[in-house]
């Protein structure tokens, strides 16, 4: 994973050197080695705790949330469009895969790509008008889509099951994406994580990735330089939404029960993807995974320790930590680590 990445900063369009540094130009071989090393490190907890069923659940969910945060990071970090509506795409993947499996006995492996394509299409349709908004107005508009999706799912009984939700019958087998052993789910989630992060690594070195960075730094300057800003945003959103829908499909088959409060829960879905990326380092490749690795196990431990003694205290502590991270680590864990390394690098700290 590249250490030359920069999260969303305050550089302006005239700062050509800042944008050049942000693109993280390096040899393909070096990028591949960093990616493989990062994935090996991410797999280590699974190897060490493969015999512990409790921790396997946490690890599997951490991999899933890390992949979903990385998918959000494509448009929210690289593109600078702070979306709070990714629960819509997550829900599309979960509900479509579950309904097609329950009603028509279609394997999720066959439906995962169509679900992702449908989510990408919906993303383009709803983003076309909202991308004309900027900053908090865009975030609020995407938040409204999440609430609209919640209402539709609650009343569209024929597809979503309404408030009752959809129960997926247990038919263990690889073809059904349903497994008896928890470690099999953990491997599946890890593959999803590795796929999404691999795509972001390639994206960073692609023309679309450079265009997204340019739009993030200064939209007007990017437009003046000949970039079709709306097209770039729509492509980034479509890719992000499609990968999020894939994660939704995996989540549905993992939990085997979905309903509107579970899928469109703003705190656990809509905002969680963004928060994990922000804490780890928004706009970086490693940030979303680091955010998930820190927050998901920690909140599970808090819930287990404090849920009975002090109900709700785990959420208060987690919220406080997130506020502190936003105040004192504005560039996330990755940014803080890079700053620390620069301090101990002769001749570099002063220049920064």
pLDDT digit string, tens, across residues 155-213:
988 888 998 999 999 999 999 999 999 999 999 999 999 999 999 999 998 999 999 99
Report the distance separating Cα 42 and Cα 44, nearest Å.
Answer: 6
User: DSSP 3-state assignment of 107?
Assistant: coil
Give the 3-state secondary structure of 86-106: HHHHHHHHHHHHHHHHHHHCC
Task: Evaluate whether 3 touches 338 at the Cβ level (below 8 Å).
Answer: yes
pLDDT of residue 345: 72
Closest by CA to 73, choosing from 182, 220, 167, 203, is 203
* pLDDT (mean) for 289-296: 93
Residue 310 has pLDDT above 90, yes or no: no
Report the distance separating Cα 210 and Cα 234, nearest Å.
Answer: 15
28 falls in which pLDDT band (50, 70, 90)? confident
User: DSSP 3-state assignment of 173?
Assistant: strand
pLDDT of residue 270: 74
Residue 14 has pLDDT above 70, yes or no: no
Mean pLDDT score across all residues of the chain = 86
Residue 17 has pLDDT above 50, yes or no: no
Report the distance separating Cα 107 and Cα 105, nearest Å.
Answer: 6
pLDDT of residue 340: 76
% of the chain beyond a pLDDT of 90 = 61
- 167 forms beta bridges with 257
Q: What is the pLDDT of residues 115-171, one digit of tens each?
A: 999 999 999 999 999 998 887 889 889 989 998 999 999 998 888 899 899 999 999
Among positive and negative, which fits the CA dihedral 54, 176, 94, 292?
A: positive
pLDDT of residue 62: 96
- Higher local confidence (pLDDT), 179 or 331: 179
Q: What pTM value is reported for the model? A: 0.87
pLDDT of residue 328: 73
- Of 67-76, 88-97, 153-162, 247-256, least confident by mean pLDDT is 153-162
Residue 248 has pLDDT above 80, yes or no: yes
Closest by CA to 154, choosing from 145, 144, 143, 165, is 165
């Amino acid at each position: 994973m590249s250490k030359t990445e920069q999260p969303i900063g305050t550089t302006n369009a005239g700062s050509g050197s800042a944008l050049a540094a942000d693109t993280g130009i390096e040899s393909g071989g070096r990028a591949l080695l960093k990616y493989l090393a990062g994935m090996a490190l991410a797999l280590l907890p699974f190897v060490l705790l493969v015999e512990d069923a409790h921790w396997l659940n946490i690890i599997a969910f951490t991999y899933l949330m890390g992949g979903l945060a990385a998918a959000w990071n494509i448009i929210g970090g690289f593109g600078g469009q702070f979306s709070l509506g990714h629960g819509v795409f997550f829900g599309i993947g979960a509900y479509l895969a579950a309904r097609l499996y329950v009603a028509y006995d279609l394997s999720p492996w066959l439906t995962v790509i169509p679900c992702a394509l449908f989510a990408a299409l919906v993303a383009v349709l709803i983003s076309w008008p909202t991308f004309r908004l900027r900053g908090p107005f865009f975030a609020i508009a995407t938040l409204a889509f999440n609430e609209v999706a919640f209402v539709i799912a609650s009343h569209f009984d024929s597809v979503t099951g309404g408030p009752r939700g959809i129960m997926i019958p247990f038919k263990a087998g690889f073809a059904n994406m349903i497994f008896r052993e928890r470690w099999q789910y953990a491997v599946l989630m890890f593959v999803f994580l590795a796929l999404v992060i691999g795509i972001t690594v390639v994206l960073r070195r692609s023309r679309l990735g450079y265009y997204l960075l340019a739009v993030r730094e200064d939209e007007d300057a990017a437009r003046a330089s000949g970039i079709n800003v709306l097209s770039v945003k729509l492509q980034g959103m479509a890719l992000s939404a499609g990968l999020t829908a894939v994660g939704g499909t995996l989540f549905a088959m993992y939990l085997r029960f979905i309903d509107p409060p579970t899928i469109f829960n703003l705190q656990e879905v809509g905002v969680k993807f963004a928060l994990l990326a922000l804490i780890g380092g928004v706009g970086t490749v490693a940030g979303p995974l680091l955010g998930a690795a820190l927050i998901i196990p920690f909140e599970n431990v808090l819930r287990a320790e404090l849920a009975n003694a002090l109900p709700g205290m785990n959420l208060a502590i987690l919220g406080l930590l997130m506020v502190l991270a936003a105040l004192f680590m504005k560039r996330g864990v990755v940014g803080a680590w890079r700053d620390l390394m620069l301090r101990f690098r002769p001749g570099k700290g002063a220049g920064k």
